[in-house]
Amino acid sequence: MSKIRQIILIQPEAASKPATGAPCNGCGVCCLLEPCPLGVLLSGRRRGACVAVRWRVEARQYRCGALSEPVDVLQHVLPKPMRRLVPHLAPGLARLAKRWIAVGQGCDSTVEARPLEEPPASPQIR
């Protein structure tokens, strides 16, 4: 069986992915690769980065925005007519996120993440 190689763009300051089962360190690999079940609902897709993942510059970590910034996430994903419900829905989204992303349970990603040997070529603008 051949291994699938997929490139995901990660902030250079992010920590390396921890071993499966080790405490989460906010590396972002899992959320940038594909959304969790809650992320599928929020993103409307099964592949690619979750719309809820947020880079925290000061902490140098990725975090689930559904947990840390539920108002912002809901403002982004809900249709305009439903945005008036955001203040009522945000606390429930944060509670749901805490359960669905298994806060405190450790890394559950079995992905082997490693840096590229060479960075991808940048398009040249003339």
pLDDT in tens, 106-126: 898 888 887 776 655 666 555
- Determine, yes or no, domain membership for 54: yes
Q: Cα separations (Å) of 60 from 49, 69, 94?
A: 18, 16, 21
Q: Are 120 and 7 in contact (CB under 8 A)?
A: yes
Q: What is the spatial distance between Cα 83 and Cα 62, in angstroms, rounded to a whole number?
A: 25
- Determine, yes or no, domain membership for 77: yes
Q: What is the spatial distance between Cα 17 and Cα 1, in angstroms, rounded to a whole number?
A: 24
Q: Number of structural domains, the chain?
A: 1
Region class of 44: left (phi > 0), else alpha (psi between -120 and 50), else beta: left
- Determine, yes or no, domain membership for 19: no
The pLDDT score that the predictor gives to residue 110 is 87
Q: Between 71 and 45, where is the model more confident?
A: 71
- Determine, yes or no, domain membership for 3: no
Percent helix / strand / coil, the chain, rounded to 5 = 35, 5, 60
The pLDDT score that the predictor gives to residue 64 is 95
CB atoms within 10 A of CB 11: 15
The pLDDT score that the predictor gives to residue 103 is 76
- Determine, yes or no, domain membership for 15: no
Range of the domain at 65: 29-100
- Determine, yes or no, domain membership for 33: yes
Strand segments (E) across 1-126: 53-56, 61-64
The whole-model pTM stands at 0.81
The pLDDT score that the predictor gives to residue 82 is 95
- Determine, yes or no, domain membership for 105: no
- Determine, yes or no, domain membership for 123: no
The pLDDT score that the predictor gives to residue 111 is 86
Q: For the segment 47-106, what is each residue's pLDDT rounded down to a tens digit?
A: 999 999 999 999 999 999 999 999 999 999 999 999 999 999 999 999 999 888 877 788
Amino acid residing at 36? C
